[in-house]
Structure 1
Amino acid sequence: MKHKMVSIGDDNEITFETRDFCPAHLLFKIESFSLLSENGIDKIESSEFELDDNYKWKLIIYPEGRYAKDGANHVSAYLAVENKSKPDAGWELNAVVSIFLLNHKLDKYMFKKGQRRFHLLNPEWGFSKFIVKETLTNPSNGFLVDECCVFGAEVFVVKNEGIRETLTNPSNGHLVDDSCVFGAEVFVVKNKGIRECMSILKVTNSFKHELKISKFSKLEKEWNSKEFNAGDHKWKVCVYPKGNGAQNGSHVSIFLHKVGFSSGEKVKADCSICIKNQSKIGNRKYQFNRLFSASSNSWGWPSFIPIADMKQPGCLVGDVCIIEVEISIQAVLRSLP
């Protein structure tokens, strides 16, 4: 069913279609959509979902548009693929991909569909102008209800392994001169994909925590802090006074760890770590923005500060090092039942 709303994809002008049943491979719910801009989040990615042949896919949403010129005033949506088994090989595949957006008012999924050849040099395809942002954010249109919108994705890899046959004229055994060629494809939709929700949080304040490490210069191995809370999440800091890995013996290494994850949970946070200068001359501080998950639960710097610099005035007072951690939780991604 064609819908009257029109938008232009990256390749051609493609109109929205609608259907009743939900996407087969991914359902991606975003809560508090308007806070994306407020929190400075200009790109969000779903978890990966895997199809046959060891290919992994993910949905990428650009709330402010992917390109300033082509995607201005629009929300952009793309599907990206990666061959995990042979990342350096000259792989390619043909696929029919669809990107969905739920219209709560109509109780239907609106989607745009296209056929694409994916390969190592061109692993993404989608729409820089998936939907006009004003259309999406206007509650009367039914896409954003209680600050919540739902995206989805389907991918069907096309393999030319079907039956190929010729119909002959039974009266004389010859091919019919006035010939034509028909064909058919059938993709059975099974709802076994990923279902997840991203809750965008209003960043009203950050969580600060101060750690004191005694007898710092005498520590040989790693030092781990006690767990502390930032929001509803637990964290800890790991310090290598003599360095970690390639920086062993030359730098102090510091890492922030997110402790404990519920099933399918991911946490996006703005973080900063600094070694406090107790003489109030100036702190050694680093900042980063990171999506923490069960498989990627830590982030930090192997070369946070040269070991020799720890002898500067104020870094160690009474052989005590003070580390300050500041965390602002921006979003939480969790699995939907």
Structure 2
Amino acid sequence: MDECYLMGLWCGLIMFKFLEEYYQFWSTGPTPVQTSTHVVLPANDDNVETREFEAGDYKWRLVIYPGGKEKGDYISVYLSVVDTNSLPLDWEFNATCTVFLYDHILDKYLCFRVNERNFNKTTTEWGFPKFIPKKVLIDQSSRYIADDSIVLGAEILVIKRHRVIETVTLLKTTEVPQKYEWKIQEFSKLEEDRVRISEEFTIRDVNWRMKLYLNGDSSELSMDVVCASADTFDAHQKVKAEFYLRLKGRLGVVRSSGKLSHWFTSLDKCCGQKAFISFSTMRDPENGLLVDDCCTLQVEILVQLVV
């Protein structure tokens, strides 16, 4: 190949075409794009940029380095994200990129594909430093050149990331235990009602309820603490608490659950002790647990984490 032909090729006019059948962006569904641009490749091997196009809600260019990005015997081709000033400061996404080079003899496309790559404000360009040897492309019999033009295409699959921000509030354990007492009237009717639920009360900005209920055969009483605030929690919100459930009699506390700990969520709002006390024990007058058909339950709650 003579020197005049080489100089004529690098200084000549080369058309870069993007054809509908292979230029699709799957991040928002198949979106055919058809565009063409005339680019003059300078003799000093400066890089050449195509016109902008869109894929996955981002703007791109193909960047061609005739002398190689790393200066060698290869032509380099890169995909570059442009107009980044309009993106959020912390923008970031992954993409799978394919660049095509049309073979006029075989009527096929030579594909260059990279697996998922990360693009962000410090890495806006990714591609192929050794896209094709210069001597292969500029040979007079090259199958990739026709009418001083080559046909390049690009296919980009943008994988967007959805950031989840989780805030954790670590609360100091209170010096004075925070308690709530619930006086249940007409306890004898519990056998018919089966369940009693207290009014809402607030401890450490979290709303709670107490729940007393009979088990299946009515022989045992179970007691729960219910996180009422969890009714409005989203899928990621939760509260961790340590608590004690107690039954008070004439002489003070007569039964305690011991320390319990639980993460309360929108799907898991209750925790307590099954078979806290037998129903017959509660009704036995000698135990002194009922006064005028009333009993008093107590809960002590230490809210530790709010997420």
Q: Do the structures match in fold with TM over 0.5? A: no
The structure where helix makes up a greater share of residues is 2
Q: Which of the pair has more CA radius of gyration?
A: 2
> TM-score, normalising length from structure 1?
0.41
TM-score of the aligned structures, taking structure 2 as reference length: 0.45
